[in-house]
Structure 1
Amino acid sequence: MTGFMRGYVRTVDGVNYHIGRVMMYGIFVMMGILLWSSISKTFFLPSLWTLEMAQFAMVAYYIMGGPYSIQLGSNVRMDLFYGRWSVQTRAWVDSFTVLFLIFFLGVLLYGGIDSLIYAIQYNERSPTAWRPVLWPIKSVMCLGLFLMILQAVSELFKDIAHIRGEEL
């Protein structure tokens, strides 16, 4: 494996590892928001922002945790045949199928960037009573998709190394 590929894998895996570890605590952010929602509805006036903010937190948790999930290999696979294959065969199949993932994520990122530009240009707001601007969450979504593409390319480099018989 070339020095560039090793450096790329080390850098991307390190960044996504640290972001993923931080995002694991996002569940507590969502729990706090929803707890406040329950308390405010019971004892005070209901908050307008809690449900939508919990949705935004969930999107950030899910999208920013995606690259870490890819890195750990905790994504869903059909293990009917895959589990019986050799490491080399798995690497060949993974190096082929990851190209579809990269294409899919690229299409999503293209649409996300287009939507983000629209949100910024027209100061797009949510149609709810709270009416928050949408560009911050759309920015998080685009960043998460970009990081997932980087992680998918990292996985492709790792598969190429396995095919060549090298270990990272």
Structure 2
Amino acid sequence: MLHWTGRGIDAMSEFLGWLGWILILYCMCFGITDVFLRYVLNVPSMWIGTSIQAAMVLIACVGGAYALNHGSFVKLDLFYANASARTQAILDILTVPFTLLFLGVLIWKGIDAALLSIKLNQVTPTGVPIPIYPIKSMIPLAAIAVLLVVLKQLAIDIRTLVTGQPAREAFDDDTH
């Protein structure tokens, strides 16, 4: 069961990483377009800057699960890198309560903010009103995606602690 659940979480993480890549491409292309329109043609855009800001918020949202799933967050390698697999698992497990607390508040307050934004039909206060509620709705959804990755990693760490196998091996050997 852990194997298939983990694969589903990995697929979700990869999709979010792909979505982040598309958003980065969007920001690059429209950022260049905005500069060209503003400084070469002297015709500033009324919506590109605001849409790029929204895209950057979404990049931060979708990038979290992808980065965590690929072990790309910063760790204090002075203590962590040379530790055994079991010690690394213990250190990871010790940080889970703080992570769960942070994600719990982010999901809870994110849902409140998203629902209020939907209720108010919130848009940007610019010349071209862009809806804000889809972006605010992505924040708790992205936090849920990160939560799934954290729970997957917790299961791997617990298994590593019990079996002594390194994290990836413990996960990949699950055939149930």
Give TM-score scaled by structure 1 length. 0.90
Corresponding position of 1:56: 54
Q: What letter corresponds to residue 132 of structure 1 in structure 2?
A: I
Which runs of 5 or more structure 2 residues have no equivalent in the other structure?
172-176
Corresponding position of 1:19: 16
Corresponding position of 1:129: 127
Q: What letter corresponds to residue 77 of structure 1 in structure 2?
A: K
Q: Secondary structure of 2:128's match?
A: coil
Q: What letter corresponds to residue 14 of structure 1 in structure 2?
A: A
Q: Distance in 1 between matches of 2:45 and 2:12?
A: 36
Show the 5 A alignment for 1:29-68.
29-41=26-38, 42-68=40-66
What is the CA deviation profile of residues 97-138 of structure 1, one whole-angstrom value per residue up to 9, with x for unaligned ones?
Answer: 022112201101111110011011111222333332211111
Q: Distance in 2 between matches of 1:17 and 1:162?
A: 24
Please, what is the CA RMSD of the aligned residues? 1.5
Residue pair 2:30, 2:52 contacting (<8 A) in 1 also: yes
Corresponding position of 2:83: 85
Corresponding position of 1:97: 95
Which runs of 5 or more structure 1 residues have no equivalent in the other structure?
none
Residue pair 2:117, 2:132 contacting (<8 A) in 1 also: yes
Q: Secondary structure of 2:134's match?
A: helix
Q: Secondary structure of 2:44's match?
A: coil
Q: Distance in 2 between matches of 1:49 and 1:18?
A: 27
> Identity of aligned pairs, percent?
30
Q: Structure 1 residue 44: deviation in Å?
A: 4.8
Corresponding position of 1:141: 139
1:159 aligned onto 2:157? yes
Residue pair 1:94, 1:159 contacting (<8 A) in 2 also: yes
How many aligned positions are there?
Answer: 165
* Displacement over 6 Å in runs of 4+: none
1:8 aligned onto 2:5? yes
Q: What letter corresponds to residue 151 of structure 1 in structure 2?
A: V
